[in-house]
Amino acid sequence: MTSNPRAFREGAHAVCVSVPRQIREPALSTGLFRGVLFLALAFLVGVSPAFSVSKSQPNDPYFSSRGSWGQPYDDQWGMKLVGFLDQANGESAWNVEDGSSRPVVVAIIDTGLDYFHPDLDPATVWRNTAEQANGIDDDGNGYVDDLIGWNFYDNDNTPWDYAGHGTHVAGIVGAATNNGEGIAGINRGVRIMPLKVLNFVGRGRSTGIAEAIFYAVANGARIINLSLGGHHLSKTEKLAIDYAYKHDVLVVVASGNEGVDNKDYGPAGLDSVLTVGAVDAQGNYAGFSNWGAAVDVAAPGVDILSLRARRTDFALISGQEDYKAGEGFVGKENRYYRATGTSFAAPFVTGVASLLLARNPDLGVEQLMRIIRNTARDIDAPGIDQNTGYGLLDARAALLADPGFFIDARISGVSVVQKKGRPWVRLTGTADADRFGKAWIEIGEGENPSRWKKVSDDIGSAVRDGVLYDVNVKHLKGAKTWTLRLIMEHRNGTRREARFVLNLG
């Protein structure tokens, strides 16, 4: 949990959220609203990006500022932490790929989108070129005039954001960069497909979420961001997510904000999604972030600055304790918003995945997941851990990685076996890599050893879900608690480790 008393968490981003209050934009008549929308869409047809792409530091003010709400760190600290730096030093992930080379369609399945936000390039909003604004289902997909997406909550073609959550998520992925205004988004060439499944208080139906997933896959989305979830996952949702996986569409999911094991949390607990936990501005695991074996990686999720949909304040709507109306607003015209939660960690991963596809559109969903996991920076407990998975998202490392690269080290169990009448400690698990170098076992006294001793020969070939090594019990004398450490070394020198604490009683 963040120690900043001014930071607030997002309201529970489950499909069903109980809230005491609501703030929503005054309703516009359907005819007037669609008229405004269609005028905007007329501009969108065939439009090219309005903002130039530069290889220098983005000139977006909040990218280089700090302390805008009294905090002792950069306003867009999260971007820097995962590798989006001043491009002048040559070490920024944007120096490898900024997304402008090839548009990638990303579906944001959420509360909708403020597609008129001044810091959102109109060209960033996905356009269904097979549909015309004529009241006819031109492409025969069952959705009339679905020009930029669909509102699955109200069953119409206006996925407008009355809550603000979806706009905040979308801004992290694709806010206009280098336009001299506001914040910088991750992908400069992304196409955001807004699919509204939740209303202004975060309520929605599982059937709507599932339908939106099917729609996203059918209409060319390569990545789906689901910054929502709950304690139960319907069969319909699972069917839709499995469908996306089978069609090589990556589904990125927020782990949840209750600080509990997410093994039964849907859809974060599924194997076919990339589940994202949260870290704070110091790069430490955020205590509210759900944990467990399902967590793949972690990304920034505390005090995240992004776009504010007009006339929204979702922290207020969610009933955030001790939150004062407008406390999250940033900027003279309140066009930006800061919020905390795994909902805002997930789009960092979504944005990086979209850059990977811009760089190499032939990557499949398994390759995307493998690259993002295996290039993450190990944080929290050494090795793959239940709080942050493989570690902190590393955009530059991911973009530079060989698509086939992986390195895996896991200790799944420890048991006592008899060999030649003597007891040995048997370690089972996995030591594997696409280019296997070597692996070995070390031990250290206590739960956090300061010194280590190698107690095995080099393991010269890959082991997957099998016996790693039998350790002679003579090495375990003199203490009641030992930590066993498996080190896996790739041929390129990269190492990953796994630990197991052994209590002898």
Mind telling me the catalytic residues?
Answer: 110, 165, 343
What is the distance of C-alpha 260 from the center of its chain?
Answer: 18
What is the distance of C-alpha 110 from the center of its chain?
Answer: 14
Identify which of 355, 415, 320, 63 has the alpha carbon closest to the alpha carbon of residue 189.
Answer: 355
Q: Distance between CA 6 and CA 339 in Å, rounded?
A: 10
Identify which of 41, 203, 171 has the alpha carbon closest to the alpha carbon of residue 106.
Answer: 171
Contact between 186 and 104 (Cβ < 8 Å): no
With tokens 């679905």, the residue in question is 146
Identify which of 110, 351, 131, 375 has the alpha carbon closest to the alpha carbon of residue 227.
Answer: 110
Q: Distance between CA 236 and CA 233 in Å, rounded?
A: 8
Beta bridge partners of 438: 489
Give the H/E segment covering residue 297. Answer: strand 297-300
Tokens at 254, concatenated: 């927020």
Ramachandran region, residue 383 (left: φ > 0; alpha: ψ -120 to 50; beta: rest)? left
Ramachandran region, residue 415 (left: φ > 0; alpha: ψ -120 to 50; beta: rest)? beta
Sign of CA dihedral 264, 266, 271, 275: negative
Contact between 443 and 484 (Cβ < 8 Å): yes
Terminal Cα distance for the chain, rounded: 33
Three-class SS state of 95: helix
Using CA atoms in the order 419, 420, 424, 427, what is the torsion angle rounded to 10 degrees?
Answer: -20
Tokens at 235, concatenated: 């069969």
Query: Starting at the edge strand that comes first in sequence, how are the strands of the sheet with 436-445 ordered?
Result: 453-454, 436-445, 481-490, 495-503
Q: Distance between CA 17 and CA 202 in Å, rounded?
A: 6
Contact between 101 and 190 (Cβ < 8 Å): no
User: What are the backbone dihedrals phi and psi of residue 62, each rounded to the nearest 5 degrees, phi first?
Assistant: -75, -15
With tokens 């940033």, the residue in question is 330
Identify which of 275, 225, 463 has the alpha carbon closest to the alpha carbon of residue 376.
Answer: 275
Tokens at 323, concatenated: 């939150």
Q: Distance between CA 102 and CA 114 in Å, rounded?
A: 24
Residue type, 40: A
Tokens at 99, concatenated: 């997304």
